[in-house]
Structure 1
């Protein structure tokens, strides 16, 4: 047991950058943590840490030992968290990544509600439009749309969000209203450049059961969907925007939704929805708290968008 105290004090000191900070994480005094580490070094017969008044550094032996025991301590923490979850009180850390627009407009209030329900969890929400590496960035769960899926991740679909093709009333009054995707080539199109791979995101439709991408006159390009929506509302052209961003602007009269089915008429091309997935590394990585989070998101995504 003393050896375990020493390992825990050592690992937390390295993670937090000082013995005092590591001790706070463990809920013990800095003196007690320092004694635990000293006893561990004595038992191992090597020096693990180089201590100064301003910094903490690993010796070569300390680096090797830390690499070996860190995963062991994480397994122990996970085992303890699982036991607490069985008792109905999940705890521990959850790190969630999402694209900025979906995270800001949809995910943030859901994560806030989840945190209120399970107050012993320590949750971090990372809004990032770059490619997210689950291992390097220690991400437990990432929310991705279908074009971001990659091999090696388990993906569970959580939402099918309608896409709106929108323009301001002023733009449509000046340039006319397109009624068919083939007309987009004659309009000012505001197109998203996907931040994580740099490509332009095509505008997909379905006609007679076949998918196709419309030809575009991409006069304005941006890597942020909220910004594209604001530029469309300012009259710059037509933008393809998720309903979680567009619907509020449509309701306020700032944008008009195009290619919508008219009463009694079937549209000649359907708009393919944007599908979102909850992604994690592998089935062995699913802790109880992660399963709780995914089930919560599936249950609380707005009803019209539920998968």
Structure 2
């Protein structure tokens, strides 16, 4: 008995809403679809769909079974494509990334990637808005944790530190905070996440426990480069990804804070920025996507 074929037919019936519609989608007769359902129900020993000449309704057993098996055909397709051997990754590769990560991390790496894989043609979408893989033809997206959702298969590829920092001129007149609690007494430059308007919290690990610092937001922006420039010009304290902050620290425009890690009896650490490579669950991890993800992991 071809159980996978019976399951595929059952899924088509549920997704199309009727036996007739499923038959058209599969290129089968309605009678053959109905017989497949009956064979599957006999195999399982339960009724999956209550059907009359005018309507059909999933039973409770049918609902539970559908939730368990609905991904099987797709998973088989992904496994088949992943197993296919491609000697040379090639063709168009559309990558979506957050604006700052694209500007500071991906862009400098792209020439080396293209040298390693000259037959891959890259399109890079750099934006902080939510990108729809299917509608926009995105093969892989690079996302931070706040952007993840259940529609994506995510693979963590790196953890990068956040750095709390301010310009020497600001610290000279406002003082240097020694604990996260003191941030409420300072001018804080806060990033507002553009997709949903949230402030990304300033989270510390204090003695192994996560603590969100109470802030005094004196400036808010959805552009991290603007925040970095305001901080470098003495506007206040910013929390920046290391790839944004470090060049400004190296040239003396910013000074890092809380970098000793210990204050009295407390150990203070900043939570890192976790970076994920994501593919749509309806897309295969083909050779060019795998090549890019593995290249980025090695580079980082």
Do the structures match in fold with TM over 0.5? yes
Inter-CA distance 168–287: structure 2 relative to 1 (3 Å threshold) = same
User: Which deviations, in whole Å up to 9, do the C-alpha atoms of 1:109-155 show, x marking residues without a partner?
Assistant: 22321112111111101101101111111111110011111112111
User: Which deviations, in whole Å up to 9, do the C-alpha atoms of 1:249-307 show, x marking residues without a partner?
Assistant: 00101000000116998763211111100000128511111111111111111xxxxxx
Q: Is residue 236 of structure 2 the alignment partner of residue 237 of structure 1?
A: yes
Question: Is the 8 Å Cα contact of residues 154 and 283 (structure 1) preserved in structure 2?
Answer: no
Inter-CA distance 216–110: structure 2 relative to 1 (3 Å threshold) = same
Q: Is residue 296 of structure 2 the alignment partner of residue 297 of structure 1?
A: yes
Aligned equivalents of 1:289, 1:266: Cα separation in 2: 50
3-state SS of paired residue (1:135) = helix
Tell me the equivalent position of 1:124.
123
Aligned equivalents of 1:137, 1:205: Cα separation in 2: 36
TM normalised by structure 1 equals 0.68
Inter-CA distance 264–171: structure 2 relative to 1 (3 Å threshold) = closer
Tell me the equivalent position of 2:287.
288
Aligned equivalents of 1:139, 1:148: Cα separation in 2: 15
Q: How many residues align?
A: 222
Aligned equivalents of 1:140, 1:157: Cα separation in 2: 16
Q: Is residue 86 of structure 2 the alignment partner of residue 86 of structure 1?
A: yes
Aligned equivalents of 2:183, 2:263: Cα separation in 1: 24
Tell me the equivalent position of 1:256.
255
Question: Is the 8 Å Cα contact of residues 154 and 278 (structure 2) preserved in structure 1?
Answer: yes
Question: Is the 8 Å Cα contact of residues 167 and 234 (structure 2) preserved in structure 1?
Answer: yes
Aligned equivalents of 2:98, 2:261: Cα separation in 1: 33
**Superposed, which structure 2 residues align to 1:14-163 within 5 Å?**
86-87=86-87, 89-163=88-162
Aligned equivalents of 1:242, 1:261: Cα separation in 2: 18
Q: Is residue 168 of structure 2 the alignment partner of residue 169 of structure 1?
A: yes
Aligned equivalents of 1:120, 1:114: Cα separation in 2: 11
Aligned equivalents of 2:283, 2:105: Cα separation in 1: 28
Question: Is the 8 Å Cα contact of residues 261 and 269 (structure 2) preserved in structure 1?
Answer: no
Structure 1 residue ranges, 4+ long, deviating more than 4 angstroms after superposition: 262-267
**Superposed, which structure 2 residues align to 1:1-20 within 5 Å?**
none
Runs of 5+ consecutive residues of structure 2 not aligned to the other structure: 1-76
Inter-CA distance 267–283: structure 2 relative to 1 (3 Å threshold) = farther
Aligned equivalents of 1:257, 1:291: Cα separation in 2: 36
Aligned equivalents of 2:206, 2:261: Cα separation in 1: 16
Aligned equivalents of 2:100, 2:212: Cα separation in 1: 23
Aligned equivalents of 1:145, 1:221: Cα separation in 2: 20
TM normalised by structure 2 equals 0.69
Question: Is the 8 Å Cα contact of residues 180 and 268 (structure 1) preserved in structure 2?
Answer: no
Question: What's the Cα RMSD here?
Answer: 2.4
Inter-CA distance 254–266: structure 2 relative to 1 (3 Å threshold) = farther
User: Which deviations, in whole Å up to 9, do the C-alpha atoms of 1:68-120 show, x marking residues without a partner?
Assistant: xxxxxxx9xxx8xx98x733x22111100001101110111223211121111
Aligned equivalents of 2:242, 2:265: Cα separation in 1: 21
